[in-house]
Amino acid sequence: MKLLRHTALLLWKDVRLEMRRRESLLTMFFFGTLLLFVFHFSFDLAPDRMVETTPALLWLAFLFTGTLGLAQLFEAERGNHCLDALLLSPMDRGALFLAKTGFNVVLMTLVEIVVIPLFWILFNLRSWDLIPLLFLIVFLGTVGFCVLGTILSAVTLKARARELLLPLVLFPLMIPVILATIRLMENVLRFGVIGDAAPWLRLLIGFDVIFITVGVLIFDRVIDV
């Protein structure tokens, strides 16, 4: 109960700070949109190749956009040694992990709400009825990305070239999430259902659950590194 109360308090603080600064969300939104236009003008995809290419392009846009968000994740805590102020408090450090993960999920979801329909329009995809299912898959992938990203963002917090280091460490570890999301989206676009890609869905859910649990348990050590 205390963990959830502290998580809500920290999450609300981050949302309030973002509403005032509008740094992360605007940057992520413009970058995500920009990437879509770059993809749109760079690839002249034949309709039969659309299904196998578009999920990877879309997820690539989310990966890069999400990395921008992760780079800013502890920015408020870096100023005035506010991280020390949080670590001094009686808060369970798992709450900090959950709040930061939750905050990044909120940011990425807001960006995705705009980017996915825009992607549909730019690439002339007609199956609008599939969007809710694709949103669910993207959301699960986003949670996986944010969970692992928050852990690694905390690990690299005191590193000198953290903006460079973070994607180098994060992307290889994200391969299961990327593969699962792309395979699932491909299946949904091709057949309209998850169908025989269900094992990828289980992998994605398993990844999310395992890393959320691991994050809560180890974050007190991770944040001290």
- Beta carbon nearer to another protein, 140 or 155: 155
DSSP code of 103? Answer: H
- Beta carbon nearer to another protein, 16 or 202: 16
Least distance to another protein from the beta carbon of 82, Å? 6
Residue 224: other Cβ atoms inside 10 A:
9
Least distance to another protein from the beta carbon of 16, Å? 7
- Beta carbon nearer to another protein, 42 or 80: 80
Angstrom distance (rounded) from CA 115 to CA 108? 10
- Beta carbon nearer to another protein, 20 or 126: 20
Backbone angles phi, psi at 162, to 5 degrees: -65, -35
Interface residue list for another protein (CB under 8 A): 2, 6, 9, 13, 16-17, 20-21, 76, 79-82, 84-93, 220-221, 224
Closest alpha carbon to 186 in 171, 205, 201, 173: 201
Least distance to another protein from the beta carbon of 150, Å? 18
Task: Return the structure tokens found at 116.
Answer: 């996915």
